[in-house]
């Protein structure tokens, strides 16, 4: 230690260096801040609490990243570091070191801009999390479970039981409070204002004298050890997968009790709705469970008793009490989602792409009685193998898909491109697909159900893979078949994914796919609105004929192979604003443009805005989805009488922690296969536990 005090460091590291911190020689020569990704702004005065809140609010929606300290991803202490650095404060790297800086503040004296600290387990004194207090019991932080920078309440059970204390950094002048190694500079913590007056000036530069014990150096620069990371939490690279494309019913990531009061009109029937709901959310590992008791009160014919009896007279209807059960975050090692708004894709989607079981319902998408199906989606992977599974309805299963994939050539002796190549085998099928075409007996036109099966073999090769960019080339060979027919299709494609921007906050996903289809094959047969078109697949060239999708598949001429393409582009900003478009088309090699020779064009548009902040800490969410199926012309859009056009829209505004209003609009096909436009309004009263 004496030689360090004299300003000299050995040319070779001490024996413990490699074990505890391999980069210690570099740390002896460089400031940790130089490579932190967060620059400290030079200012002449201390900020106000309101100014700190404004800076923190500008980071809302930034993804949570394990150990992150850039706007591409922040952990809890990285978020606090960035906010304070923009106002001239150089704080330590981790929460446990930040806890050692500032004036100790009692919970009842907290003010805007104060730092508040938590532990992972109630009763523990280990500092594991930091946030910035605002007012009225609210704070802002990089929330691990929510996966982004967001607001939370201090008086909730989870945070109240884990609260450790508060620190007022604004009691200190602007200056340097971290050592060269990222720890807290000694002497800048005070229990009382009197002690605060005796602290040394923060303008003195840090020196080697402040070097901590070597056993703590490695811990200083890491908020959490990688081994502590839950398999339920997503990894740093965000793939931007689309997981919902139809009706939307937003469930807040909070443990709360709520009551939804609604009025709606569906197919000329008006109803009032009541729905008491309880939601549990675990902030540590993103586990969410939501249950409700939906009650429908008809305003037209029929009594309340009859309505209750009709809506609760089967196991499937009673299952409406389950709103959502979710384990983990999408793109984590393990992800399970049992929810009313889930969409499912299997592999690259040549068989099943964004299939949304609740695309067609007996009521509005956000109505309590509306979303009947309870879909189940599961993803998981370990090392070089993984799988995906999707089921349309846990209590009335008809359609499901499954994928298994692995990297059989991932061995050192293989070329690099082959090591990165994965092989996948998928199945998708409908056990009760309606049809009125009997190829064996053309005279029989009675409607019945048949099984439809699809299988595919796919390969995927990573051409580019780094922290900001993925580019993959894939191939897919698929078959559709049942007792009456069999068809083959193939597709080579490119998948582009990026976390772009200087701060990696722009998520882009693009797909370009060529398609080759034999007779009796339709690419992405189990598509987004399959639950509508399986009963009636309207077509611009055949609007009067109400044919199930399976009928159209059977009636495709056997001597007319088809070629086509599929393109999709989606964009997300901070995971808060998203937009996307997909389009596909095909042509018959025989030149025949009739409905018997080829399927029409398909177009999908969507816009998804989540928790955009309004003045006075209000927030707004908006969802819009537009689908046009089997079309030949883009005229007469947004027409009630266009059967192959489906529209969903919802808007929700949170006025404060207790009250929200929402509205929904839907244009789709009713049970009698006629087009209907419906709307609804809801008032939500909630109390966070």
Which positions are annotated as active-site residues? 76, 129, 141
* Spatial separation of the C-alpha atoms in residues 169 and 621, rounded to whole Å: 34
Q: Is the CB of residue 474 less than 8 Å from the CB of residue 495?
A: yes
Rg over alpha carbons for the chain, rounded to the nearest Å, is 29
* Spatial separation of the C-alpha atoms in residues 673 and 419, rounded to whole Å: 50
Q: Is the CB of residue 234 less than 8 Å from the CB of residue 330?
A: yes
φ and ψ at residue 193, rounded to 5 degrees: -60, -30
Instruction: State the alpha helices, DSSP H only, in 345-452.
Output: 416-419
* Spatial separation of the C-alpha atoms in residues 637 and 585, rounded to whole Å: 18
State the sign of the Cα–Cα–Cα–Cα dihedral 100, 104, 106, 107: negative
Length of the chain equals 689
Q: Which residues pair with 579 in a beta bridge?
A: 571, 607
Cβ neighbors of 345 (< 8 A, separation 6 or more) are 241, 242, 352, 353, 354, 355, 388, 390
* Spatial separation of the C-alpha atoms in residues 364 and 653, rounded to whole Å: 19
State the sign of the Cα–Cα–Cα–Cα dihedral 633, 515, 595, 449: negative
Q: Is the CB of residue 633 less than 8 Å from the CB of residue 670?
A: no
Taking alpha carbons only, the member of 97, 36, 43, 44 closest to residue 67 is 36
């Amino acid at each position: 230690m004496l030689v360090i005090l004299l300003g000299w460091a050995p040319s070779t590291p001490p024996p413990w260096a490699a074990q505890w911190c391999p980069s210690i020689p570099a740390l002896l020569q460089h400031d940790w801040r130089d490579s932190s990704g967060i620059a400290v702004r030079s200012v002449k005065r201390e900020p106000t609490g309101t100014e700190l809140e404004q800076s923190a609010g500008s980071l809302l929606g930034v993804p949570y990243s394990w150990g992150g300290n850039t706007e591409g991803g922040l952990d809890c202490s990285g978020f606090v570091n960035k906010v304070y650095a923009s106002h001239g404060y150089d704080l330590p790297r981790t929460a446990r070191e930040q806890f050692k800086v500032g004036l100790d503040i009692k919970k009842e004296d907290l003010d805007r801009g104060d730092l508040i600290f938590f532990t992972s387990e109630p009763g523990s004194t280990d500092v594991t999390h930091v946030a910035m207090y605002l007012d009225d019991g609210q704070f802002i932080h990089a929330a691990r479970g929510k996966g982004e920078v967001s607001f939370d309440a201090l008086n909730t059970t989870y945070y109240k039981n884990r609260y450790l204390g508060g620190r007022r950094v604004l009691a200190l002048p602007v200056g340097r409070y971290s050592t060269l190694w990222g720890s807290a500079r000694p002497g800048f913590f005070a229990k009382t204002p009197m002690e605060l007056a005796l602290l040394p000036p923060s303008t003195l530069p840090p020196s080697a004298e402040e070097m901590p014990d070597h056993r703590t150096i490695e811990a200083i620069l890491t908020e959490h050890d990688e081994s502590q990371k839950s398999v339920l939490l997503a990894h740093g690279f965000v793939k931007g997968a689309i997981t919902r494309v139809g009706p939307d019913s937003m469930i807040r990531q909070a443990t709360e009790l709520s009551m939804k009061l609604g009025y709606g009109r569906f197919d000329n029937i008006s109803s009032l709705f009541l729905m008491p709901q309880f939601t549990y959310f675990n902030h540590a590992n993103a586990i969410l469970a939501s249950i409700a008791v939906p009650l429908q009160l008809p305003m037209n014919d029929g009594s309340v008793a009859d309505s209750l009896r009709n809506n609760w007279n089967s196991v499937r209807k009673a299952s409406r009490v389950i709103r959502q059960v979710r384990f983990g975050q999408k793109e984590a090692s393990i992800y399970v989602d049992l929810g009313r708004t889930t969409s499912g894709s299997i592999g690259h989607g040549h068989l099943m792409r964004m299939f949304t079981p609740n695309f067609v319902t007996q009521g509005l998408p956000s109505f309590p009685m509306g979303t009947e199906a309870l879909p189940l989606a599961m993803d998981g992977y370990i090392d070089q193998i993984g799988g995906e599974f999707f089921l349309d309805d846990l209590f009335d299963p008809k359609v499901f898909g499954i994928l298994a994939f692995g990297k059989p050539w991932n061995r050192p002796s293989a070329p690099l491109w082959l090591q990165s190549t994965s092989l996948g085998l998928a199945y998708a099928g409908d056990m009760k697909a309606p049809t009125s075409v009997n190829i064996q007996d053309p005279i029989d036109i009675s409607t019945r159900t048949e099984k439809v099966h699809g299988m595919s073999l796919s390969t995927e090769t990573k051409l580019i893979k780094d922290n900001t960019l993925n580019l993959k080339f894939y191939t897919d060979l698929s078959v559709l078949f049942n007792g009456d027919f069999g068809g083959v299709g193939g597709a080579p494609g490119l998948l582009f994914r990026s976390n772009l921007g200087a701060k990696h906050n722009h998520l882009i996903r693009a797909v370009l796919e060529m398609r080759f289809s034999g007779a009796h094959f339709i690419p992405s047969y189990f598509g987004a609105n399959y639950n509508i078109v399986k009963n009636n697949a309207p077509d611009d060239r055949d609007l009067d004929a109400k044919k199930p999708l399976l009928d159209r598949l059977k009636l495709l001429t056997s001597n007319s192979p088809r070629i086509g393409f599929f393109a999709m582009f989606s964009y997300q900003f901070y995971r808060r604003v998203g937009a996307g478009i997909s389009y596909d088309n095909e042509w018959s090699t025989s030149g025949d443009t009739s409905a018997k020779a080829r399927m029409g064009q398909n177009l999908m548009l969507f816009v998804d805005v989540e928790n955009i902040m309004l003045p006075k800490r209000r927030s707004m969410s908006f969802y819009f989805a537009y689908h046009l199926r089997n079309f030949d012309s883009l005229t007469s859009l947004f027409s009630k009488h266009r059967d192959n056009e489906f529209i969903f829209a919802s808007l929700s505004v949170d006025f404060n922690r207790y009250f929200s209003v929402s509205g929904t609009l839907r244009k789709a096909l009713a049970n009698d296969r006629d087009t209907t436009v419906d709307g609804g309004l809801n008032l939500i009263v909630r109390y966070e536990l």
